[in-house]
A and B are shown apart, each in its own frame.
Chain A
């Protein structure tokens, strides 16, 4: 199984500042037949289901603010919130969908400093 490791477990960032979340997979998520990395990012606010933010490692889902961006390839990926807003307080998860079982990272809780 592919193990997804997120870091840090939590971080506190001042409003308007940058937040960076890392995700590392135990094997490459880059398809040999394409240039796609099978990596998604989700945001989950308390009491709500997760919400898809980013897929193919860097493609922003429709309606997601452009302050959210994804980067990385192979085994190392990053979610960046360029200017943290109050409504961004949430837990963020990475997920690999390269192969079954699909697996999630442990989550990163983002709070306001």
Chain B
């Protein structure tokens, strides 16, 4: 079955960097676009970024553009989110998800990981 397992979260100081990983299994990772979505404590869902199945197209939320970078390693079946210049408002649970139902980039998130918590605090 499809499994998405996030890792790399933790407590960091403002202005520092962190890299999240999402290990994928149970599906052909190279055939699907992948997303990051975050949820601040007690708040709603915020879409963060998407990468196309081939990795050439990447799109970001305005709130993270220029600071976060999404990438994927097909050989490792792993999705990444490099987060630089972290701010307290980046504190959230970060979920990865795959875009189901085809190879397109603009598709809903069919499967989600359990999430990893990032806390940005001094």
Chain A residues at the B interface, C-beta cutoff of 8 Å = 1, 38, 40, 42, 44, 49-52, 55, 61, 91, 93, 95, 97-107
Contact = CB atoms under 8 A, between A and B. Distances in A.
Interface of B: 35, 37, 44-47, 50, 59-62, 95, 99-101, 105-110, 112-115
A26 to B, nearest CB: 15
Nearest to A61: B110
Contacts of B114: 49
Given A98-B106, A99-B106, A102-B50, A52 B100 contact: yes
Given A50-B37, A95-B109, A97-B106, 4 more contacts: A49-B95, A49-B114, A52-B108, A100-B60
A40 B101 CA distance: 13
Contacts of A51: 112
A107 B45 contact: yes
Given A49-B95, A50-B112, A52-B110, A93 B100 contact: no
Nearest to B108: A40
A91 B59 CA distance: 26
Q: Among the interface residues A42, A91, A102, A107, which one has the most CB atoms of the partner chain B within 10 A?
A: A102
A107 B59 contact: no
Given A1-B62, A101-B60, A103-B47, A38 B110 contact: no
- List 7 tightest A-B contacts by C-beta distance, closest first: A100-B59, A40-B108, A49-B112, A102-B47, A107-B44, A104-B45, A55-B108
Given A1-B62, A49-B95, A49-B115, A101 B47 contact: yes
Contact of B44 (A38, A49, A93, A102): A93
B60 to A, nearest CB: 7
Contact of A100 (B46, B50, B100, B112): B50
Nearest to B113: A49
Contacts of A38: 106
